[in-house]
Chain A
Amino acid sequence: MYEFKYHRPGTVRQAANLLVKNEDAKLIAGGHTLIPVMKQRLASPPHLVDLSHIEGLDTIEMKGRSLVIGATAKHADVASSPIVGEAIPALASLAGGIGDPAVRHKGTIGGSLANNDPTADYPAAVLALGATIVTNKRRLKAEEYFQGLFSTALEADEIITKVMFPVPKKAAYVKFRNQASRYALVGVFVARRPSDVRVAVTGAGSEGVFRVTAFEEALKKRFSSKVLDGIDVPAEGLNSDIHGSAEYRAHLIGVLTRRAVDAANAKE
């Protein structure tokens, strides 16, 4: 790891000022992506701005019809929160399946979304549920937020403060883990929302998280896994590597979407 200067701001405003003042500064919260990357010297930020001590940034609460999760809420907090369990149990279950218990004690929702790893779980939930990413500057719709591998609409001095999830009628997340790394080879989040159905896929797309509109249209007519029979997901644009070919991932998307729809229906 290369040298850096460590900052611990007490407010989001102070953190944003530190970003403006120090070019190439990086935000850190749980550190469970950034620290490994810095150890490998793939990143060498001269300044680290620690968000984990900003009070109130990890609050989980209901605001009207939306579940609002603070940026530094840890995966373990989301997984065990009765508020999340009541409003969107699929999201609690997703958080409880990230990494392992010790990782979930540190990793945060804001960190996961800011990093936008193509195999991360949260982006699928944010896109399928039609969540809004709230920053210190503006509100970003999920559709405009994700912009490809490890890239987002965030500007250099922009900080995620919370994520607002509209509560769906039904939802489920199912992932197929890589047997060694335990990351999602493919993960599918299905949300039956009041006006439509969304199917978002992580792990498979060469440009990161994406929606399967053919599945969405069929499921909007009837929310049953049976309606997916005969609809194939094209392998084009999917990742192909030693863990699985694009065709295999395309097949998994179909299998996991069916399982997710069945799981969402079983929860009623």
Chain B
Amino acid sequence: MAKISLIVNGNPVTANVDPRTLLVQFLRENLRLTGTHVGCDTSQCGACVVHLDGKAVKSCTTLAVMADGHEVKTIEGLAADGAPLHPMQEAFREHHGLQCGFCTPGMIMTAIDIVHRKGHELDDHTIREELEGNLCRCTGYQNIVASIAAGAKAMAKSDLA
């Protein structure tokens, strides 16, 4: 077992884990943060995307021990319970950027990462290129792209990063 200490959604967490525990397993099974999903488990679908030190990564292809000493943000960390949604979440709701919802947490974490790197004015082509690592089997992406463009603009006026 290995002892790890990290910050998850702003809270310090310490745990003993088997070194082969994936970050996504640790989040879901140890911390019960089940918003982060396991889709393909082969780093292709993006359902497991979280932010590690502020950057989008696939938590199914990251060991929990590798996150020791680092900061993780999951979909649960975007807005407090009962508080208004993060502008990107609100944009997905408003623009119907989901159907079954399974890919949505990963889509939203990726979308916020896109805004951090590419700014608040995103054209459709940029969004589609940037979504290369996030698969959705329901929507045909049209409304996801619309949601991200709107969410990116809304984030410019929001305090929530």
Interface residues of A (CB under 8 A from B): 1-6, 8, 28, 31-32, 35-36, 38-39, 48, 50, 52-53, 76, 99-103, 105-106, 182
Contact = CB atoms under 8 A, between A and B. Distances in A.
B13 interface: no
Interface stretch (B49-57, B93-101, B146-154): B49-57
Contacts of A53: 69
28 contacts: A3-B18, A4-B20, A6-B2, A6-B19, A6-B63, A28-B66, A31-B66, A32-B43, A35-B63, A36-B43, A38-B20, A39-B41, A39-B42, A48-B63, A50-B66, A53-B69, A100-B46, A100-B132, A100-B133, A101-B56, A101-B113, A102-B56, A102-B57, A102-B58, A103-B43, A105-B56, A105-B57, A106-B57
Contact of A182 (B55, B62, B132): B132
Interface residues of B, number: 30
Residue among B52, B66, B130 with the highest chain A CB neighbour number at 10 A: B66
Interface in B56-72: 56-58, 61-63, 65-66, 68-69
A250 to B, nearest CB: 28
B41 to A, nearest CB: 7
A2 B20 CA distance: 8
B104 interface: no
A36 B2 contact: no
A4 B42 CA distance: 20
Given A36-B43, A39-B41, A52-B66, A1 B20 contact: yes
B110 interface: yes
Determine chain B's interface SS by DSSP, over half rule. mixed
Given A1-B20, A32-B43, A36-B43, A105 B55 contact: yes
Nearest to A2: B20
B108 interface: no
Contacts of B114: 101
Nearest to B46: A102
Interface of B: 2, 18-20, 22, 41-43, 46, 49, 52, 55-58, 61-63, 65-66, 68-69, 110, 113-114, 117, 130, 132-134
A27 to B, nearest CB: 13
A28 B19 CA distance: 13
Residue among B20, B52, B62, B69 with the highest chain A CB neighbour number at 10 A: B20
A5 B19 contact: yes
B13 to A, nearest CB: 18
Residue among B18, B42, B55, B69 with the highest chain A CB neighbour number at 10 A: B55
Contacts of A35: 22, 61-63
Contacts of A28: 66
A106 B62 contact: yes
A195 B44 CA distance: 42
A31 B61 contact: yes
A103 B49 CA distance: 10
Given A39-B41, A99-B133, A101-B113, A106 B63 contact: no
A114 to B, nearest CB: 17
B130 A101 contact: yes
Given A31-B63, A101-B130, A103-B58, A36 B42 contact: yes
